[in-house]
Amino acid sequence: MAKNEIPYKIYLSENEMPAQWYNVRADMKVKPAPLLNPGTHQPMTAEELGGVFCEELVKQEMDNDNRFIAIPQEILDFYKMYRPSPLVRAYCLEKKLGTPAKIYYKFEGNNTSGSHKLNSAIAQAYYAKNQGLKGVTTETGAGQWGTALSMACAYLGLDCKVYMVKVSYEQKPFRREVMRTYGASVTPSPSDTTNVGRKILAEFPGTTGSLGCAISEAVEVAVSTPGYRYVLGSVLNQVLLHQSVIGLEAKIAMDKYGIKPDVIIGCAGGGSNLGGLIAPFMGEKLRGEADYRIIAVEPASCPSFTRGKFAYDFCDTGMVCPLAKMYTLGSGFIPAPNHAGGLRYHGMSPVLSQLYHDGYMEARAVEQTKVFQAAEEFARCEGILPAPESSHAIRAAMDEALKCKETGEAKTILFGLTGTGYFDMVAYEKFHDGKMTDYIPTDADLEKGFAGLPKVD
Q: Which residues contribute to the site for a second copy (CB under 8 A)?
A: 1, 7-9, 11, 13-14, 77, 80-82, 88, 91-92, 110-112, 114, 151, 154-155, 173-174, 177-178, 180-183, 376, 379-385, 420, 422-423, 425-426, 428-429, 432
Tell which residue, 330, 323, 318, has the closest CA to residue 215.
Answer: 318
* Identity of the amino acid at 11: Y
Nearer to a second copy, 88 or 311 (CB): 88
Torsions phi, psi for 64 (to 5 deg): -100, 5
Nearer to a second copy, 16 or 447 (CB): 16
Nearer to a second copy, 112 or 195 (CB): 112
Q: How far is the CB of 115 from a second copy (least distance, A)?
A: 13
Q: How far is the CB of 431 from a second copy (least distance, A)?
A: 9
Q: How far is the CB of 417 from a second copy (least distance, A)?
A: 12
Q: How far is the CB of 105 from a second copy (least distance, A)?
A: 12
Direct distance between the N- and C-terminal alpha carbons of the chain, in angstroms, rounded to an integer? 59
Nearer to a second copy, 13 or 442 (CB): 13
Please tell me the distance from the alpha carbon of residue 278 to that of residue 20, in angstroms, as a whole number. 16
Q: How far is the CB of 384 from a second copy (least distance, A)?
A: 6
Nearer to a second copy, 126 or 312 (CB): 126
Nearer to a second copy, 234 or 420 (CB): 420
Cα separations in angstroms, 59 against 63, 313, 352, 448: 6, 22, 19, 36
Nearer to a second copy, 143 or 416 (CB): 143
* Identity of the amino acid at 143: G
The dihedral of CA 320, 322, 325, 327: what is its sign? Answer: negative
Torsion on CA atoms 352, 355, 358, 359, rounded to nearest 10: -100
Nearer to a second copy, 2 or 444 (CB): 2
Question: For 149, how many CA atoms within 13 A lie in the half-sphere containing its CB?
Answer: 31
Residue pair 248/1 in contact (Cβ under 8 Å)? The answer is no
Nearer to a second copy, 25 or 106 (CB): 106
Please tell me the distance from the alpha carbon of residue 416 to that of residue 391, in angstroms, as a whole number. 9
- Residues near 5 by beta carbon (within 8 Å), at least 6 away in sequence: 257
* Identity of the amino acid at 423: F
Q: How far is the CB of 96 from a second copy (least distance, A)?
A: 10
* Identity of the amino acid at 81: M
Q: How far is the CB of 185 from a second copy (least distance, A)?
A: 12
Q: How far is the CB of 381 from a second copy (least distance, A)?
A: 7
* Identity of the amino acid at 246: I
Tell which residue, 81, 84, 93, has the closest CA to residue 8.
Answer: 93
Q: How far is the CB of 234 from a second copy (least distance, A)?
A: 21
Nearer to a second copy, 204 or 422 (CB): 422
Nearer to a second copy, 104 or 423 (CB): 423
Q: How far is the CB of 415 from a second copy (least distance, A)?
A: 17
Q: How far is the CB of 1 from a second copy (least distance, A)?
A: 6
Please tell me the distance from the alpha carbon of residue 167 to that of residue 163, in angstroms, as a whole number. 12
